[in-house]
Amino acid sequence: MKSSSLVVLLLAVAVSASVNEESGWFVPQKDGSFRYWTVEEADAFELARPRRTPGGKPIIYNLFTKSNPSEAQSFTTADLPAETLSYFNKKNPTRFIIHGWLIGDYESGTQSLITAAYLDPDFKDEDYNVFTVDWSYYADNPNYAEARYDAPKAALEIAEFIDVMNEKFGLEFETLTLIGHSLGGQVAGMVGKNVKNGRIDTIYGLDPAGPLFMTTKPEKRLTSTDAEYVEVIHTDRMELGYAKPLGQADFYPNWGRRQPGCKYDVGGECSHKRVVLLFAEAVKMRSNNKFVPTKCVDYNSIKDEKRCSALVDNSVRMGHRGNYKIASGVYHLPTRGESIFGMGFYYL
């Protein structure tokens, strides 16, 4: 990182706490620096911004199952086969994993780690249809602001693909889960708003993007009504992630700030990516995951880093698929700085 960029970034981090989060944002730049935007600047940019030209690179959907755990079967909406789709099994639950800004390939980690967790061979009685969504035509724009305002276009295309999968191949909305990291978390919410043939069962927002979203109305970002159940995990609420609760249940590991093991986390990149490791661990360990939280009164307890209830409810575990029945509100939990991240009953 250039020294001038580092100075800008340090200044942004230093003064971010004193800036009203409702009046503007520090927007990340590709070189690692941040630039402050007011709401007025963002609105003007949205109206005048350059748009991706129609007919560009389509969104690619890469299907993995236990029958093809490492070699994807790839499709676009336009080239889905008319009658059969090998590997896809409508009897199995389906997962869509949506990457964030500048992270457009399966091997980047966000998608490969979570895919591997779902298709873990140790769980012989389980199989999933796991689609990793490559929307890099929009997301790999070096200008974050352009990628952010192109996100609704990508969401519409993903929603269309899901509806076509439902119509042609019997994809069940009742067993459909979307997992979106960073800007992909916001896209997941927009997808939930735009599917036409049903209602998404579950959305996991993994540290959904905050820059250029904090003052956005609920109809234009991830919110608790975008699926039957929406769970959000916040690991970098001070820089890159969305600070306030967005879901039916919101989890704040380590108060949603600097994550253990992120020693020189200037700009929050390490903490922002940590959520992927936490969620992959939760999926891999299934009902035995060690992310046991305590419930907080509200978001103010998170902001003030006040101890939440000393009573641990073993029935709620961050990232557990059974949470939709019982989890609601705001939760806090500490984690370790390396795997195994979960700490279990840390108050006992």
Q: Looking at the structure, do residues 163 and 275 belong to the same domain, yes or no? A: yes
Contact indicator for 211, 27 with CB cutoff of 8 Å: yes
Q: Looking at the structure, do residues 28 and 84 belong to the same domain, yes or no? A: no
- Give the DSSP letter string of 194-211: H-SSS--SEEEEES-B-T
Contact indicator for 145, 101 with CB cutoff of 8 Å: no
Q: Looking at the structure, do residues 170 and 304 belong to the same domain, yes or no? A: yes
- For residue 64, the model assigns a pLDDT of 96
- For residue 18, the model assigns a pLDDT of 34
Q: How confident is the model over 305-344, as pLDDT tens digits?
A: 987 876 666 789 999 999 998 999 999 999 999 999 999 8
Whether residue 75 is contained in a domain is answered as: yes
- Give the DSSP letter string of 72-121: EEEE-STT--SS--TT--TTS-EEEEE--TT--SGGGSHHHHHHHHHT-T
Q: How confident is the model over 59-106, as pLDDT tens digits?
A: 999 999 999 999 999 999 998 887 778 899 999 999 999 999 987 665
On the question of pLDDT at 1 being above 80, the answer is no
Contact indicator for 203, 192 with CB cutoff of 8 Å: yes
Q: Crossing angle of helices 144-169/183-194, nearest 10°? A: 40
Q: Looking at the structure, do residues 33 and 110 belong to the same domain, yes or no? A: no
- For residue 11, the model assigns a pLDDT of 37
- For residue 42, the model assigns a pLDDT of 82
Q: What is the dihedral of CA 60, 189, 313, 288, to 10 degrees?
A: 0
On the question of pLDDT at 21 being above 70, the answer is no
Q: Looking at the structure, do residues 107 and 12 belong to the same domain, yes or no? A: no
Q: Looking at the structure, do residues 61 and 172 belong to the same domain, yes or no? A: yes
Q: What is the dihedral of CA 323, 328, 330, 333, to 10 degrees?
A: -30
- For residue 106, the model assigns a pLDDT of 58
The contacts of residue 290 (CB under 8 Å, 6+ apart) are 317, 340, 341, 342, 343, 344
On the question of pLDDT at 271 being above 90, the answer is yes
On the question of pLDDT at 52 being above 50, the answer is yes
Residue 17 — very low, low, confident or very high, per pLDDT cuts 50/70/90?
very low
Residue 47 — very low, low, confident or very high, per pLDDT cuts 50/70/90?
confident
Domain count, the chain: 2
Residue 55 — very low, low, confident or very high, per pLDDT cuts 50/70/90?
low
Contact indicator for 235, 275 with CB cutoff of 8 Å: yes
How far CA 8 is from CA of 2, 3, 143, 284, in Å, comes to 10, 9, 17, 39
Q: Using a cut of 0.85, tell me whether the model's pTM lies above it.
A: yes
Q: Looking at the structure, do residues 243 and 109 belong to the same domain, yes or no? A: yes
> Half-sphere exposure of residue 48, counting CA atoms within 13 Å on the CB side?
6
Q: Looking at the structure, do residues 203 and 227 belong to the same domain, yes or no? A: yes
- For residue 265, the model assigns a pLDDT of 87
Backbone angles phi, psi at 322, to 5 degrees: -85, 0
Q: Looking at the structure, do residues 43 and 141 belong to the same domain, yes or no? A: no
Q: What value does the mean pLDDT take over residues 47-64?
A: 79
Residue showing tokens 């389906």:
94
Tokens read off for 134: 């490559």
Q: Looking at the structure, do residues 185 and 239 belong to the same domain, yes or no? A: yes
State how far the Cα of 177 lies from the Cα of 155, in Å rounded to an integer.
15
- Strand pairing report for 229-233 and 176-181: unpaired
Contact indicator for 147, 139 with CB cutoff of 8 Å: yes
Domain housing 174: 57-333
- For residue 341, the model assigns a pLDDT of 97
Among residues 86, 169, 95, 90, the alpha carbon closest in space to that of 131 is found at 95
State how far the Cα of 236 lies from the Cα of 271, in Å rounded to an integer.
6
On the question of pLDDT at 233 being above 80, the answer is yes
Q: Which residue has the higher pLDDT, 88 or 50?
A: 88
Whether residue 340 is contained in a domain is answered as: no
On the question of pLDDT at 348 being above 70, the answer is no
State how far the Cα of 43 lies from the Cα of 206, in Å rounded to an integer.
26
- Strand pairing report for 68-75 and 249-253: unpaired
The contacts of residue 44 (CB under 8 Å, 6+ apart) are none
| Average pLDDT of the residues of the chain | 87
Contact indicator for 301, 308 with CB cutoff of 8 Å: yes
Query: What amino acid positions are annotated as catalytic residues?
Result: 182, 207, 272
Q: Looking at the structure, do residues 85 and 201 belong to the same domain, yes or no? A: yes
Q: What value does the mean pLDDT take over residues 125-135?
A: 96
Q: Looking at the structure, do residues 93 and 179 belong to the same domain, yes or no? A: yes
State how far the Cα of 328 lies from the Cα of 334, in Å rounded to an integer.
19
What CATH number is given to the structural domain containing 122?
3.40.50.1820
Q: What value does the mean pLDDT take over residues 205-224?
A: 91
